[in-house]
Amino acid sequence: MKRFHIALAVASLEASIADYTKRLGQEPTAVVPGAYAMWRTDLLNFSINENPTQAGLLRHIGFEDDTAAGFAKTRDVNGIEWEQFSPAEQDRRIEETYGNAIRQAGPA
């Protein structure tokens, strides 16, 4: 499966989790309290990290792809960062960057 990935900076992780949970119709798939949250829906991989000085800004976009080997990062002609990664690689990077995540069941 291939999911479009969007990563945003937010002012308040707690308030943003409540808002985006309502908007996406499901609880986050992974949460690192005080730092990070990620939702995997059927079509979307959406992540946020608490960074009040950058709140509302796009961090990067890309694709979560079950067939991806590892992790790749490029920039498009507009300077936007694009990532491509497998779910397992993203999970590894979440823990490496933010610490142990509280996991929820995601879509099949």
25: phi then psi, degrees, rounded to nearest 5: 75, 20
Q: What is the pLDDT of residues 42-71, one digit of tens each?
A: 999 999 999 999 999 999 999 999 999 889
- Characterise 20 by phi-psi region: left (phi > 0), alpha (psi -120 to 50), beta (else): alpha
For residue 25, is pLDDT > 70?
Answer: yes
Q: What is the mean pLDDT of residues 68-84?
A: 95
- The pTM (predicted TM-score) of the whole model is 0.87
If one counts the domains in the chain, the total is 1
Place 108 in a pLDDT band, splitting at 50, 70 and 90: very low
- 92: Cβ–Cβ under 8 A, 6 or more apart, which residues? none
The answer to whether residue 89 is domain-embedded is yes
Domain CATH for 84: 3.10.180.10
Question: Could you tell me if residue 108 is inside a domain?
Answer: no
